[in-house]
Structure 1
Amino acid sequence: MKNFVITVARGFGSGGRDIAAMLADELGVHSYDKRILTLASQYSGYPEHFFREADETLNGSLITKQLQALPKHHAPTGELSKFTSDDRLFDYQKIIIEKLAASESCVIVGKCADYILKDYDNVVSIYVEAPRSYTLRRVMERMDDITVEEAHHLITKTDKYRADYYKYYTGGNYWTNPVNYDLTFNNARLGDERCVKLTLDCMKLKFGDDFVEYMKSIGKDI
C-alpha cells in the first residue's frame, strides 16, 4: 500500500510516547521523535545542539540518503536571536516531517506533525491525554527522586510549553482541540494496549483493504 503515517500528540505523563513506540513495533516502522532533530540538523547545516541532543542511528536510512542529495542550507555566522532561530529550526523540522510522510511509513511524535500533515490523505492523527492523578502517578514511576510537588510542576510546565508551541506554530490552534485529530484517547480509561488497538482499527477503516494487505505482508492479522 501507499506509505502511511501516524502522528501522536500527547500530554506529559499520559503514556503517548509509549503508545507511539508500541504502534511502531506493531507496524514494523520507525518512530520519529528526537530523531527528527537529527535529520533537521543534517539537512540544515545547523550544529546539532541547536536541535537538542538527538539519536544518530539513522545515517543509513532512506530519508537520510535523500536529504544528502539536496542542497544544504547553512546557518549564518554568529548567534541568531531565539525568536528567529526557533522559527527557522521549526521550518527545517517541517521539511523533514513532510519528506518522511512522502517517503516512508512511520510514526511521528509531537512537533505539530498533525497540523503539518493535516492535508495528507495517508495520515492518522491521535491525541493521548489523561487526568492529573494518572499522569502524576506515571511520571513519579518513571522518574527517580522526584517529589509530588515537583512532578505537578513538571507536568504543568511541560504541557503549557507544548500548548504554547502548538498555538504559535499553527497560527492560533489549540493543541487539545479534538477536531485536530482523528482519535482522542483518555489513557486512564483505556490503557496503552487498547489505544494501540483502536488506532489500528481506525487505520483499517480509513485505508481499507490496502492496510489489511499490508498487515498480512508483515505477518499480522487485523
Structure 2
Amino acid sequence: MAKRIITISREFGSGGRFIGEEVAKKLGIAYYDKNIINQIAEESGLSPDYIQESAELSPKKGILAYALAGRDITGKSVEDMVYEVQRKVILELAEKEPCVIIGRNADFILKDRDDVLNVFIHGNMPEKTKRICQLYNVSEQDAVKMMTDTDKRRMTNYNFYTDQRWGKASDYTLCLNSSQLGYDKCEEIIMECVK
C-alpha cells in the first residue's frame, strides 16, 4: 500500500524538520509542525505558547515529576489534556489529506494505519552541534546543552505517552542518519519509500 502520511521524529539538530518540510514541498502535500499549535490551543483553551512548550516536550524535571505533576481528582494533568487534544488533531489531519507530520508522537498516534511511513532522523554529535550553533547563534557548549535538554524532554514525553521507546529503530519504518547521508539523500529515500 502506498504511504500517504509521513511522520518524522528527530533528534534536535539533525535537520528532521527541514527534511520533512522539503519532502512535503517536493511531494506537493501538506506539512504540519508548529502550524498545528494554534489548532491544539484553540481546542484545549490553552495559550499557543503553553502548547508549543508542552505538546512535545516534558517539563524539565523528569519522568517522575511528569507522572505526578498537577493531576486533578480524575488523575489527569493539563499535559494529559493537551496530549488528548493533540492526538485528536493528528488523527483528523491524517483522515483529511496526505501530509508530513513532525514530532508530537504522531508515529504512535497513527500506528494502527497502514498508510503511514514512520521516520526517525538522527545525526552525529559534531554535525548537530555545528548546525545548532549556526541556527541559534550559540556557543558549542550551549548547543550541546540545548541538544541534551531538548532530546531528553522529547524522550520523556514520548516514553510517558506511548508504549514505545523514543528513537528505538524497531518502532520506526525508517531510521536515517542525516550526518552520513546528507539532507538530499534522506529526502530521496523517504520519497522512494512513499511509493
Q: TM-score, normalised by structure 2?
A: 0.84
- 1:190 paired with 2:177, answer no
Query: AA paired with 1:34?
Result: K
Q: Which runs of 5+ in 1 are unaligned?
A: 54-79, 205-222
Map of 1:94-133 to 2, 5 A cutoff?
94-133=87-126
1:44 maps to 44
Determine the structure 2 residue equivalent to 1:136.
Answer: 129
C-alpha distance in structure 2 between counterparts of 1:44 and 1:174, whole Å? 27
- CA gap of 1:156–1:50, structure 2 versus 1, over 3 A, is closer
Identity %: 33
Shift of 1:44: 3.1
**Is the CA contact 1:3–1:103 (under 8 Å) kept in the aligned structure 2?**
no
1:52 and 1:154 mapped to 2: Cα distance?
16
Which structure is larger by alpha-carbon Rg, 1 or 2?
A: 1
Encode CA deviations 1:169-199: one digit per residue, 9 max, x unaligned.
Answer: 103x211101111110011111111111101
Aligned pairs, number: 176
Structure 2: gaps spanning 5 or more residues: 54-68
Shift of 1:114: 0.4
| Contact 1:166-1:174 at 8 Å conserved across structures | yes
Letter in 1 for 2:95: A
Structure 1 residue 51: Cα displacement: 1.5
Q: CA RMSD in A?
A: 2.0
SS at match of 1:52: helix
Structure 1 runs (4+) greater than 6 angstroms displaced: none
The answer on whether the counterparts of 1:3 and 1:102 sit within 8 Å (CA) in structure 2 is: no
Deviation at 1:47, TM superposition (A): 3.8
Q: Distance in 2 between matches of 1:19 and 1:139?
A: 15
Matched, 1:81 2:85: no
Letter in 1 for 2:52: R
Q: For residues 95 and 32 of structure 1, what CA distance do their matches in structure 2 show?
A: 14
Which runs of structure 2 are paired with 1:146-161 in the superposition (5 Å)? 146-161=138-153
The residue matched to 2:77 in structure 1 has which SS? helix
- Pairwise CA distance, 1:81: 2.9
The answer as to whether partners of 1:7 and 1:113 remain within 8 angstroms in 2 is yes
The CA deviation at 1:49 is 3.8
8 Å contact from structure 2 (residues 7, 118) kept in 1: yes
Q: TM-score, normalised by structure 1?
A: 0.74
Cα distance in 2, alignment partners of residues 3 and 167 from structure 1: 25
Matches of 1:38 and 1:175, distance apart in 2: 25
Matched residue type, 2:140: V
Q: In structure 1, how many angstroms separate the alpha carbons of the residues matched to 2:154 and 2:143?
A: 16
CA distance in 2, matches of 1:194, 1:21: 14
